[in-house]
């Protein structure tokens, strides 16, 4: 039975309003987020998010560190997409100082940043299934992500907080010879001591993973229960998404065709020139009939489609890499003085547009280092989005925004 107004469920029996704290320790709030719910029975009248539990004064710390020293702090903001955060800040410094990055470094950045996007969206998909009570997609997502983390470990030595992209390029080149990641050997039936180049291992992983995406769709996207929980719920119209500063998959799920890889500033878009890829935007032709433009399902499906496009980009970039000119970096000395100028740059991170605003004053340390968080803006829409829904829909709506508290609180 479809009810137009969920409040009718209460059958005109007025109950007292109740204040319920959801979080900060709650498994479905993706970290330390506290939602104060004003409920009438099962129906939500008002949601007020309380944030700041993970505030680490990253911006104040940034005023006392030179850019290469602040790179590790950007990792710890969005810890599920550290590579993309490094890239955003490195590009901002390059824009401020006018550093030209060689072609090889740009291709390398596309490979790694898109691989990071795949890893991040896998967690997004798995955790969203978990929020809605479906456990197995989470296991598959982490099995795949594990191999990506192994590949990152071979590149830079770290598995979560990489500090890999620095102003001027990256810290290391792709390794020539590696031992096959254990997970990959097991899944593809190779010997555990097999040695191969990093790019061969990455290709092997992509070849193995591409057909698996269909399985995720069977497990989750087309699952009848999943569709019931997501389609038509948490509908965010186009104007609301723009007004609340939503970006990334949340914005594209509301039907705004905007991706900074294509529409951003030249310093960022030139990295992605000459590649054949699409920007997935809702509405989708193959959406279930219950789906409405801007609902939970659309936001989720944009992410799933982005994984396919990211894999396409990685393959093209790896084909370009051997012939790419120049080195994987240009040197950037530790104590390099920043010019007396300021700049702002946004890049397309998996969760939305991450912006860095840096003011230099002639010292090595910036005068002001500001990180504009994409999840911060995406979360601000929860209040109006959750009015009149049922309590059980809150995890579905918050999960579909795919927030990381480390980035919101900085």
Partner 1 sequence: MKVSEVHALLLERFGASAIVALQEATKDPWIEVAASNIADVCQFLHDDPRTEFDALNDLCGADYLETDAKKKNPCAPHVEVVYHLYSYTHKHWAKLKVKVPRWQGDMTGELPEVPSVSHVWAIADWHEREAFDLVGITFTGHPNLRRILCPEDWEGHPLRKDYAFPLEYHGIRGK
Q: Count residues contacting partner 1 (CB under 8 A)?
A: 37
Residue 4 makes CB contacts below 8 A (sequence gap 6+) with none
Of positions 242, 324, 390, 391, contacts partner 1 by CB under 8 A = 242
112-122 as b/e: b if 16+ CB within 10 A = bbbbbbbbbbb
**Candidate segments 54-62, 120-128, 155-163, 170-178, binder of partner 1 by CB under 8 A:** 54-62
Which residue number, 327 or 342, has a Cβ lying nearer to partner 1? 342
**According to CB under 8 A, which residues from 344 to 363 bind partner 1?**
344, 346, 353, 355, 357, 359, 361-362
- Residue 321 CA, chain-centre distance (Å), reads 25
- Answer yes or no whether residue 410 interacts with partner 1 by CB under 8 A: yes
- Answer yes or no whether residue 337 interacts with partner 1 by CB under 8 A: no
Smallest separation (angstroms) from partner 1 to the CB of 49: 9
- Answer yes or no whether residue 94 interacts with partner 1 by CB under 8 A: no
- Answer yes or no whether residue 306 interacts with partner 1 by CB under 8 A: no
* Residue with the two structure tokens 């230099």: 360
Of positions 9, 18, 55, 278, contacts partner 1 by CB under 8 A = 55
- Answer yes or no whether residue 262 interacts with partner 1 by CB under 8 A: no
Asked if residue 283 has a cis previous peptide bond (ω within 30° of 0), the answer is yes
If you write DSSP's letter for every residue of 189-232 in order, what string do you get? T--TT-EE-HHHHHHHHHHHHTTHHHHHIIIIIT-HHHHHHHTT
Residue 34 makes CB contacts below 8 A (sequence gap 6+) with 21, 22, 23, 24, 49, 50, 51, 53
Continuous segment of H or E residues that includes residue 39: strand 34-40
- Answer yes or no whether residue 341 interacts with partner 1 by CB under 8 A: yes
Which residue number, 138 or 244, has a Cβ lying nearer to partner 1? 244
Q: Hey, which residues does 354 pair with through a beta bridge?
A: 347
Tokens at 283, concatenated: 């509405």
- Answer yes or no whether residue 409 interacts with partner 1 by CB under 8 A: yes
Which residue number, 52 or 388, has a Cβ lying nearer to partner 1? 52
Smallest separation (angstroms) from partner 1 to the CB of 36: 13
Tokens at 31, concatenated: 């970290």
Cα torsion for 137, 378, 256, 270, to the nearest 10°? Answer: -90
Which residue number, 103 or 342, has a Cβ lying nearer to partner 1? 342
Of positions 263, 273, 319, 333, contacts partner 1 by CB under 8 A = 263
Distance CA 55, CA 33 (A): 12
Angle at 369 between CA 62 and CA 107, to 5 degrees: 95
- Answer yes or no whether residue 368 interacts with partner 1 by CB under 8 A: yes
- Answer yes or no whether residue 393 interacts with partner 1 by CB under 8 A: no
Of positions 9, 20, 21, 60, contacts partner 1 by CB under 8 A = 60
Binding site for partner 1 (CB under 8 A): 51-52, 55, 57, 59-60, 95-96, 242-245, 256, 258, 263, 340-344, 346, 353, 355, 357, 359, 361-362, 367-368, 370, 372, 376-377, 380, 384, 409-410
């Amino acid at each position: 039975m479809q009810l137009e107004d969920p409040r009718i469920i209460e059958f005109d029996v007025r109950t007292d309003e109740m204040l319920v704290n959801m979080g900060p320790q709650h498994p479905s709030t993706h970290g330390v987020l506290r939602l104060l719910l004003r409920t009438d029975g099962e129906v939500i009248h008002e949601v007020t998010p309380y944030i700041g539990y993970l505030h680490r004064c990253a911006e104040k710390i940034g005023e006392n560190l030179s850019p290469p020293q602040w790179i590790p702090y950007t990792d710890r903001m969005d810890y599920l997409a550290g590579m993309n955060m490094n890239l955003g800040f490195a590009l901002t410094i390059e824009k401020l100082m006018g550093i030209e990055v060689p072609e090889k470094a740009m291709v390398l950045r596309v490979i790694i940043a898109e691989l990071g996007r795949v890893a991040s969206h896998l967690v997004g998909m798995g955790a969203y299934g978990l929020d809605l009570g479906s456990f197995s997609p989470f296991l598959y997502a982490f099995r795949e992500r594990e191999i990506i983390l192994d590949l990152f470990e071979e590149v830079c030595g770290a598995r979560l907080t990489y500090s890999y992209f620095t102003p001027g390029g990256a810290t290391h080149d792709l390794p020539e010879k590696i031992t096959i990641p254990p997970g990959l050997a097991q899944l593809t039936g190779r010997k555990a001591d097999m040695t191969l180049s990093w790019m061969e291992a990455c290709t092997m992983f992509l070849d193995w993973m591409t057909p698996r995406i269909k399985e995720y769709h069977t497990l989750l996207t087309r699952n009848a229960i999943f569709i019931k929980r997501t389609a038509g719920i948490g509908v965010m119209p186009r104007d609301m998404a723009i007004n609340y500063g939503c970006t990334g998959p949340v914005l594209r799920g509301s039907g705004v065709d905007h991706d900074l890889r294509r529409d951003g500033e030249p310093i960022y878009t030139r990295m992605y020139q000459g590649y054949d890829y699409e920007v997935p935007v809702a509405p989708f032709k193959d959406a279930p009939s219950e789906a409405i433009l801007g609902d939970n399902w659309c936001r989720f499906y944009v992410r799933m489609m982005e994984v396919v496009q990211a894999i396409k980009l990685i393959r093209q970039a790896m084909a370009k890499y051997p012939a790419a000119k120049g080195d994987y970096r240009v040197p950037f000395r530790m104590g390099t003085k920043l010019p007396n100028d300021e700049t702002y740059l946004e890049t397309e991170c998996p969760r939305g547009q991450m912006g860095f605003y840096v003011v230099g004053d002639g010292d090595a340390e910036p005068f002001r280092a500001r990180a504009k968080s994409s999840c911060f803006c995406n979360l601000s829409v929860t209040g109006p989005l959750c009015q009149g829904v049922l309590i059980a829909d809150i995890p579905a709506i918050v999960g579909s925004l795919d927030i990381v508290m480390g980035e919101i609180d900085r």
